[in-house]
Chain A
């Protein structure tokens, strides 16, 4: 069973993600901000990280840079799930090491498809 780490300061978003992901066979770890996400990623091995951008203490792009600095997260898919859609920020995310970008509000089916494609890319 693959483990997905979700990082978002919105409890309702984390709840909806957990509902969709666990119903589709994923184990879910939850963090409320980038710092918590980083700590959880270090203590538990996640197969994919799904992170928001605008969060207190540590934002999504900073989290991605920190994760890419860890040997065990060099190849792990890290997806941004955020209200932000500017090309400039997407480019920053790409340069930080993001694998993909999804703009909120998310569609559960599109999210699941994106995760399947991300895992397939990693396996290839």
Chain B
């Protein structure tokens, strides 16, 4: 039975060969998206924690109760004010991952172009997948986990 080449969506041999590598790359890119989402979520949690700690002090200031503001809240204020440094790093990581994803998606789109991919486009795609995998390894190596604490309790101290 002959097939109409214009409606036949069965992948040709070259495309079939490229599909597993593409699937693997898509899976790794999905992992980066998960990581970015997690970092954004952690940032939101840290910001909420910080604001929750600062609100009692602010409320006390407004009511004129300086005893609450000066003593117990001093420690909370020091902890909460450091959230800017911690959340900056989390957001920078998430942004780096998203920029990476955008760059790789743009490369895929420009390689595939419109319509059924030509053999040379598939060869370029294979190169792109290899390059993306190398770049992913670099990205993971460069993005150290920024926050060891999941909340704003004051950190551990260790003298060696």
Judge whether A117 is part of the interface by a CB distance below 8 angstroms.
yes
Given contacts A10-B85, A16-B81, contact A103 B149 (CB under 8 A): yes
Judge whether A12 is part of the interface by a CB distance below 8 angstroms.
yes
Q: Which residue of A lies closest to B153 (CB)?
A: A105
Q: A105 and B144: CB pair below 8 A?
A: no
Q: B148 and A103: CB pair below 8 A?
A: yes
Q: How large is the interface on A (under 10, 10 to 19, 20 to 34, 35 or more residues)?
A: 20 to 34
Judge whether A101 is part of the interface by a CB distance below 8 angstroms.
yes
Interface residues of chain B: helix, strand, loop or mixed (majority): mixed
Q: B78 and A114: CB pair below 8 A?
A: no
Q: Which of A84, A102, A103 contacts B144 (CB 8 A)?
A: A84
Given contacts A54-B144, A83-B146, A84-B145, contact A103 B155 (CB under 8 A): yes
Q: Which of A12, A13, A84, A106 contacts B146 (CB 8 A)?
A: A84
CA–CA, A106 to B155, complex, Å? 6
Minimum distance in angstroms from B155 CB to a CB of chain A: 3
Q: B155 and A102: CB pair below 8 A?
A: yes
Q: Mark A74-112, 1 if CB is under 8 A from B, else 0.
A: 000000000111100110001000111111111111110
Given contacts A83-B147, A85-B148, A105-B154, contact A100 B160 (CB under 8 A): yes
Among B80, B147, B155, max chain A CB count under 10 A is at B155
Judge whether A121 is part of the interface by a CB distance below 8 angstroms.
yes
Q: Which residue of A lies closest to B50 (CB)?
A: A105
Q: A13 and B159: CB pair below 8 A?
A: no
Judge whether B86 is part of the interface by a CB distance below 8 angstroms.
yes
Q: Mark B75-86, 1 if CB is under 8 A from A, else 0.
A: 100111111111
A-B contact pairs, 12 of them (CB 8 A): A20-B78, A83-B86, A85-B156, A86-B145, A94-B160, A99-B159, A100-B158, A101-B156, A103-B148, A103-B156, A104-B155, A108-B75
* Seed contacts A54-B144, A105-B86; 5 additional CB < 8 Å A-B pairs: A13-B82, A53-B144, A104-B155, A105-B154, A121-B159
